[in-house]
Structure 1
Amino acid sequence: MNEFRFNIFGALIAVTAAEGAWQAFYLGVDGKRRPADFVVPGDVVESELCEYLADLYHENATPRNAKAVQLTQGLLSANEGY
């Protein structure tokens, strides 16, 4: 699975490639995931995902959670943790 994981101002988010579109999920600390309540447009390229998510969540930035970083990139197996 082509999945990218991010820490966006403290929110753990996974974005997967699915048939020319992106699917976004919130990641829980217990390893569970739920569908995100936002859409990543299909024309956003892989290298722009972190910037797109940071722009989307910029109001959630705090002095304690002031970074938007990519945690992983590329292919992950279904059993691989974050």
Structure 2
Amino acid sequence: MTDARWRSHWVGADGKLGLAQLAIPPDVAPADLAQYLYDIYHENATPTNGDVFEIGAK
């Protein structure tokens, strides 16, 4: 078994990445990540900012 963990980042105004304080359980599969985040954060949604989607991977 590997030490597989999720890491989340935010992008600052200068384009630099910062480590986000977001805990995602290691058993959340990549295919389930968007739904997990939606379930956790849907109450913080606004009419113009309410969807969860993948923006890309490096």
Same fold per superposition (TM over 0.5): yes
What is the alpha-carbon root mean square deviation over aligned residues?
Answer: 2.0
Deviations 1:60-79 (A, max 9, x none): 21111122111124xx2xxx
Which has the bigger relative contact order, CA under 8 A and spacing at least 6?
1
| Bigger helix fraction | 2
Aligned to 2:22, the other structure's residue is in SS state: coil
Q: Which consecutive segments of 4 or more residues in structure 1 shift more than 3 A?
A: none
Residue matched to 1:33: 17
Which of structures 1 and 2 has the bigger CA Rg? 2
Residue type of the alignment partner of 1:36: A
Aligned residues, how many? 57
- Out of 41, 52, 64, the position equivalent to 2:36 is 52
Q: Which runs of 5+ in 2 are unaligned?
A: none
Deviations 1:17-52 (A, max 9, x none): x83111122222432122212211110011011111
- Out of 42, 50, 55, the position equivalent to 1:66 is 50
The alignment's TM-score, normalised by the length of structure 1, stands at: 0.56
Q: Which runs of 5+ in 1 are unaligned?
A: 1-17, 77-82
